[in-house]
């Protein structure tokens, strides 16, 4: 039995017409002889009646001290609604279908409400229905802990559900349907000349997701990578083949790659709402250790870390500025914060050891008067911190400088 897991986001399920398109994708896979597991998100986006954020607002606007356990119980309803609506449509068409919430699908999680992790899946609960010829619709974003409490998987949780089920069921592939034709070289709303990426490796797409691109949740990528599960990003509303995510061969190329070998980069992303922090602290290792420990205890994540003898420079999410200021005041440390910054990141698994990449970045940005406030790199990324008002211009400049529009 060849199994395909298809995940449909909230926008794909938001109207009757789009739900019919979802059904067409499911039935097309069935006609090709595949057993289908459809994972669904809550219908619509914030402001629409059954969206996850709308459900949150029903309680938190009036009762902000609501427990995470109670919130998980509430938020799981969004996916149950969309799963039921989709199942009803298929039943109306005379199709054999079974709908399952996270617990019924055998998804066991840990006890961390609102951001739980999957620890085991009893795949037989779904397999028994597939073997009977049913289309199985599973509520994404949720599971159940060992006490029987409903838990949710955090932002992007339906992506995680889909790839986790793909691994558990030994699926042929996971198809994640959204409202774009695939992963692009940059945000098309920022770079009009951005192109669809036909294929990309796990590390590159993980870096894209982690650095601000809203393509697939990083946790979902990690799960797929462990078992070399092929994931395809496709458009519910078109027949475009989309983007395939998989392992490349050891020489860095896929066996069916069509990308030009001279292209170093795969994509460019950016993330806004970042603050650069400079803490002036000289030759006091105990206080330095205290600072880092205190930040960690207060769940302040730091990035783009550059430590020098006289000062420590790093970035944080701008929402954490008030708490950081309080901590620095308690430690009596002088500091400087530059707000409204953006992190622009170039991504490409082939840039390691290639001379001239940073030179191209600096030359292209400086030519247009864009100042790099800070930089960091890994074996597949180079990130530059710029002023937020210059971020979109910087992305376009670098997209053009590295010829990603070709």
Residue 33's alpha-carbon distances to 3, 7, 111, 126, in angstroms, are 9, 18, 38, 17
Q: Residues 168-192, buried b or exposed e (16+ Cβ, 10 A)?
A: bbebbbbbbbbebbbbbbbbeebbe
DSSP letter for 112, please: -
User: Is 8 marked as a binding-site residue?
Assistant: yes
Q: Which helix (H) or strand (E) holds 233?
A: strand 231-235
User: Is 211 marked as a binding-site residue?
Assistant: no
User: Is 10 marked as a binding-site residue?
Assistant: yes
Query: What CA–CA distance (Å, rounded) separates 158 from 79?
Result: 9
Question: Following DSSP, what letter does each residue of 297-317 receive, concatenated?
Answer: HTT---EEEEE-SSEEEEEEE
Residue 211's alpha-carbon distances to 208, 215, 304, 364, 373, in angstroms, are 5, 11, 12, 21, 17
DSSP letter for 189, please: T
User: Is 79 marked as a binding-site residue?
Assistant: yes
User: Is 167 marked as a binding-site residue?
Assistant: no
Query: What CA–CA distance (Å, rounded) separates 288 from 290?
Result: 5
Asked if residue 226 lies in contact with residue 307, where contact means CB atoms within 8 angstroms, the answer is no
User: Is 178 marked as a binding-site residue?
Assistant: yes
Per the DSSP assignment, residues forming a β-bridge with 200 are 245
Query: What CA–CA distance (Å, rounded) separates 176 from 236?
Result: 9
User: Is 360 marked as a binding-site residue?
Assistant: no
Radius of gyration of the chain from its Cα atoms, rounded to whole angstroms:
23
Question: Rounded to the nearest 5°, which phi and psi values hold at 275?
Answer: -120, 140
Query: What CA–CA distance (Å, rounded) separates 152 from 243?
Result: 28
CB-neighbour burial class of residue 286 (10 A; exposed 0-12, middle 13-18, buried 19+): exposed
User: Is 52 marked as a binding-site residue?
Assistant: yes
Q: Point out the annotated binding site for ATP.
A: 7-10, 178-179, 214-215
Q: Point out the annotated binding site for substrate.
A: 52, 79
């Amino acid at each position: 039995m060849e199994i395909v897991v298809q995940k449909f986001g909230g926008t794909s399920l938001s109207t009757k017409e789009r739900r019919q398109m979802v059904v067409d994708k499911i039935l097309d896979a069935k006609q090709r002889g595949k057993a289908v597991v459809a994972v669904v998100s809550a219908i619509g986006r914030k402001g629409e009646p059954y969206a996850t954020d709308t459900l949150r607002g029903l309680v938190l606007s009036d009762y902000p001290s609501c427990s995470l356990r109670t919130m998980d119980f509430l938020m799981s309803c969004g996916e149950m609604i969309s799963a039921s609506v989709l199942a009803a449509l298929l039943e109306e068409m005379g199709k054999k279908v079974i709908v399952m919430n996270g617990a019924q699908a055998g998804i066991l999680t840990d006890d961390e409400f609102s951001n739980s992790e999957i620890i085991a899946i009893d795949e037989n609960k779904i397999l028994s229905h597939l073997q009977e010829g049913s289309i199985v619709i599973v509520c994404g974003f949720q599971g159940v802990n060992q006490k029987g409490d409903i838990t949710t998987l955090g932002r992007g949780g339906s992506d995680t559900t889909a790839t986790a089920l793909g691994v558990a069921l030994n699926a042929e592939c996971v198809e994640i349907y959204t409202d774009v034709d695939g992963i692009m070289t940059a945000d098309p709303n920022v770079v009009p000349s951005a192109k669809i990426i036909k294929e990309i490796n796990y590390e590159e797409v993980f870096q894209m997701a982690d650095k601000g691109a809203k393509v697939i949740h990083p946790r979902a990528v990690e799960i797929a990578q462990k078992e070399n599960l092929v994931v395809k990003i496709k458009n519910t509303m078109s027949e475009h083949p989309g983007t395939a995510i998989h392992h490349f061969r050891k020489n860095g190329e896929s066996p069916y790659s069509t990308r030009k070998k001279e292209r170093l980069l795969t994509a460019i992303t950016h993330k806004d709402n970042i603050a650069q922090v400079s803490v002036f602290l000289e030759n006091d290792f105990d206080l330095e250790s205290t600072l880092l420990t205190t930040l960690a205890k207060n769940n302040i994540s730091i990035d783009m870390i550059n430590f020098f003898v006289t000062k420590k420079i790093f970035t944080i999410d701008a929402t954490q500025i008030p708490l950081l200021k309080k901590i620095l005041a308690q430690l009596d440390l002088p500091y400087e914060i530059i707000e409204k910054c953006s992190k622009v990141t170039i991504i490409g698994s082939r840039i390691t050891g290639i001379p001239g990449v940073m030179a191209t970045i600096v030359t292209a940005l400086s030519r247009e008067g864009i100042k790099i406030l800070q930089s960091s790199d890994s074996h597949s990324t180079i990130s530059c911190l710029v002023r937020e008002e210059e971020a979109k211009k910087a992305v376009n400049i670098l997209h053009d400088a590295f010829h990603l529009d070709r």
